[in-house]
């Protein structure tokens, strides 16, 4: 006689009610993933990116820039991810602010932490792209690079001397070095 143990897959609703400060969480296909609070460098880079994007997006009235907001990407089992910074174009903005955004952002920005394993990063990247995110930026503080990814086959590595251009945010351009200042 064999027995099977069934693991409880968490729903987005259960996930929304987690009270586990200061830890941060993500939900991928019902699996709860816990991450430690980010270090100061991470926070500084997120602030820089937010400021640079926000100035451009507001001036051009392109949409909304969010930090660490949750996106409900998949159901049954549920996936809820919260990128460090994200952008949603005006035509897709959801005025409801009391629940997770239903669907993907146009742009998801992930600032890598020293403990991030490549497999985990690639798994999240695949989820972003498979669920409709138009572009993902992977910011690597140690290498001082930004990888711009619009599909698993279309990846551009940018260095400090390069200029970051991405038409996901129309007209946005910034020197990569400004992100790391």
Maximum CA extent, the chain:
67
User: Strands of 63-67's sheet, edge to edge?
Assistant: 63-67, 85-89, 107-111, 135-140, 145-151, 154-158
Say if residue 5's pLDDT is above 50: no
For residues 58-68, give the mean pLDDT: 95
What domains can you pick out in the chain, each with its CATH number? Answer: 39-179 (3.90.1570.10)
More confident residue, 76 or 51: 51
Taking residues 129-134, report their average pLDDT: 95
Determine the Cα–Cα distance for residues 40 and 44; give it in Å rounded to an integer.
Answer: 6
- pLDDT band per the 50, 70, 90 thresholds, residue 53: very high
Q: Where are the alpha helices (DSSP H) in 61-171?
A: 118-130
Letter string b/e over residues 158-172, b meaning 16 or more CB atoms within 10 A of that residue's CB: beeeeebebebbeeb
pLDDT at 25 over 80: no
pLDDT classification of 150: cutoffs 50, 70, 90: very high
- Whether the bond between 134 and the residue before it is cis, its omega within 30 degrees of 0, is no
Q: What is the pTM of this model?
A: 0.85
3-state class (DSSP) for residue 14 = helix
Residue 4's pLDDT is 38
């Amino acid at each position: 006689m064999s027995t099977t143990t069934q693991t409880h897959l968490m729903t987005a609703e259960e996930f929304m009610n987690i009270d586990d400060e200061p830890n941060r969480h993500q939900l991928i296909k019902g699996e709860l993933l816990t991450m430690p609070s980010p270090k100061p460098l991470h926070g500084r880079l997120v602030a820089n990116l937010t400021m640079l994007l926000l100035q451009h997006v507001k001036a051009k009235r392109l949409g909304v820039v969010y930090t660490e907001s949750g996106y409900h990407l998949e159901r049954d089992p549920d996936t809820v991810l919260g990128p460090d910074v994200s952008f949603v174009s005006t035509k897709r903005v959801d005025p409801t602010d009391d629940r997770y955004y239903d669907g993907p952002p146009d742009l998801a920005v992930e600032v890598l932490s020293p403990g991030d394993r490549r497999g985990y990063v690639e798994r999240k990247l695949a989820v972003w792209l498979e669920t409709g995110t138009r572009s993902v930026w992977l910011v690597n503080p140690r290498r001082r690079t930004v990888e711009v990814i619009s599909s698993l086959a279309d990846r551009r590595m940018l260095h400090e001397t390069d200029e970051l251009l991405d038409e996901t945010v129309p007209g946005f351009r910034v020197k990569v070095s400004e992100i790391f200042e």
